[in-house]
Structure 1
Amino acid sequence: MTSAALTPDSSAVAARPQGGVSWWFSDLWEMTLRNIRYLVRSPEMVLYSLLQPVLFILLFAYVFGGAIEVGGDYVQFLLPGIFVQMALYGSATGTTIGVAAEMRTGLMDRFRSMPMSRTAVLLGRTVSEVFRTVASLAVMVPIGLLMGFRFENGFLPALGGMLLLLLFGHAVSWLGAWIGLSVHSAQAAQAAGGVWVFPFVLISSAFVPTETMPGWLQVYAANSPMTTAVNALRALFTGGPAASDVLQTVAWSFGLIVVFGWLSMRKFESLTAR
């Protein structure tokens, strides 16, 4: 089924009373549901989103794990990094490609021509990516448990870590939205998404301790938002001081939302106004 078939019904949108908070939430709900339905009805996209992090778990745990010294069980070290990597790849690249494709086909122009909130169009896209992350976690967590991973710090810290992960994934999806609005095709969007995501993940504490990197690289790796998010999840899942990394991750997340949310909305308005 094409994305055009999943566009909100224009007569239903026009019939809703406009203005106010309830109108905005109604538009947001419609756009979020529309994007979730598109994901569900595109099984190849869902399969890719679920398969990629599983392959990373198996690859790093069983191929590279024996060669990486972390001072403890590598699976306990690895899984929080894989969770953040999964949220980053799914939310950022998924949003980038989806937004670019809809710009190319003219769907974004159609949304803008309808009597609906402008912010709900892009926000509905980024919120729907949270559900993709939840679906990936529903697959990855049981696999991690089978491999020996344990939430050693209790239920509430683990739940807090999952919520923090969803916030971070939502934040980077706004960066993905801005990139998707800035390129001219879905193919270019896929390439542009990989260009920054790949080094962003590898130059962090996701797979190896940052202390093993060259000194000049440690400065960036130890302070990147990716490392901060991974360290926060490790502390919440397996124990250790968490407050500093959690607060930094929250700050990074809201900073990304504010900056790239604003840039995305400006870009969206300028492109669809042409």
Structure 2
Amino acid sequence: MSTQTQERTHVALPEVARPHGESSPFLLLRHSAIQCKRLLMGWLRDAPTIIQMVVYPALMLVMFRIVLGDSISSATGQPSVYGTVPMITLVAAMSGAVVSALGLNIEQRTGLLGRFATMPIHRGAGLIGRLMAETIRIFVTTLLILAAGFGLGLRFEQGWLAAVAMLIFPILFGLGFAVFVTMLATLSKGGQLIQLVAIITLLMTFFNSGFVPVRAYPPWLQNTVANQPMSCAIEAMKGLTLGGPVGEPLLKTLAWSLGMILLFLYPAILGYRKAAASGR
């Protein structure tokens, strides 16, 4: 018995292999992918989240078609679906970002972010993984909305390559908005976040070129409507389906989206770190 105990005492344990440092780019990518998968699995298992992110935008598209479709088409001379489909893809990107930000608030209050901060995980993985999950969510939701729009009469008059290029605009716009909302989520409570973002979303939804053409608005409001970020993306997406200018609205969309990312990313990083530290 003593011999077995002695043998166990002298058993050499294998050394822990650490080919990459905790802050290496390889681990950042790997840990971000794990965080992305965690968020996606959580969203898929939560019925209210699926309804808010997928079902609600599709129903909204159908309601716009039933209630206002013929009126808008007769007033503009173009099928209303070419404006409402791009608009709904952007609305879905915004509403999904709000749901994700509320989830971030819950993770902070329950201490989950704090537990992640004490683990050997790359410090940037939480935020980057969240943005990766947002990109996948926006991509899938946009595909579903485009499929619903196709059933309502949307056709890709400029070819399938242009149809694929349409997916870029909701993703660009959605990522910029997601960074903005993430910053707000780390600085405010859930109820305050909903109230603030609901006002912004409502104003942008009803004052853009997808709802009605810019010329339908009062003259003093037309420049504002034409150059707000949703209108820029909508006009580019219209050009890629029905035909029309794409270059100028593309540049404006890039300016708005990258501007939001550059302006709000650093405050979002600081807020995320603070939220993780407060939950320890």
TM-score by length of 1: 0.87
Structure 2 unmatched ranges of 5 or more: 1-17
Corresponding position: 1:166 with 2:203: no
Cα pair distance change 1:101/1:16, threshold 3 Å: farther
1:60 aligns with 2:61: no
Deviation at 1:16, TM superposition (A): 7.0
Residue of structure 1 in register with 2:231 after alignment: 227
1:46 aligns with 2:50: yes
- The question of whether the paired residues in 2 share the 8 Å contact of 1:98 and 1:180 is answered with no
User: Equivalent of 1:24, from 13, 23, 28?
Assistant: 28
Structure 1 CA distance, aligned partners of 2:100 and 2:197?
A: 9
User: Could you say which residue in structure 2 is the equivalent of 1:81?
Assistant: 87
User: In the alignment, is the contact (CA less than 8 A) between 1:127 and 1:170 conserved in 2?
Assistant: no
* In structure 2, distance between residues paired with 1:49 and 1:273: 29
Q: Deviations over 1:142-171 (max 9, x none)?
A: 221111110111111111111232122122
Distance 1:50-1:273 versus aligned 2 partners, 3 A rule: closer
Residue 141 (structure 2) pairs with residue 145 (structure 1): no
Aligned equivalents of 1:56, 1:260: Cα separation in 2: 29
Q: How does 1:106-145 map to 2 (within 5 A)?
A: 106-145=111-150
Q: 2 CA distance for matches of 1:189 and 1:71?
A: 39
RMSD: 2.0
> Percent identity between the aligned chains?
27
Larger radius of gyration: 2
> What are the residue-to-residue correspondences of 1:164-203 with 2, within 5 Å?
164-184=169-189, 186-203=190-207
Which structure 1 segments of 5+ residues have no match?
A: 1-13
Q: Is the Cα–Cα contact under 8 Å of residues 95 and 180 in structure 1 kept in the other structure?
A: no
Cα 1:87–1:272, aligned 2, differ >3 Å: closer, same or farther?
closer
Q: Secondary structure at the match of 1:241?
A: coil
- 1:78–1:207 Cα contact (<8 Å) kept: yes
Q: Is residue 200–residue 226 contact of structure 1 (8 Å, CA) maintained in 2?
A: yes
Tell me by how many angstroms 1:117 deviates: 2.2
Structure 1 partner of 2:11? none
Runs of 4+ displaced beyond 4 Å: 14-17
Q: How far apart, CA to CA, are the structure 2 residues paired with 1:190 and 1:16?
A: 41
Residue 120 of structure 1 aligns with an amino acid whose one-letter code is: A
Displacement of 1:15 in angstroms is: 10
Rounded to whole Å, the distance in 1 between the matches of 2:120 and 2:135 is 26
Q: What TM-score comes out, normalization by structure 2 length?
A: 0.86
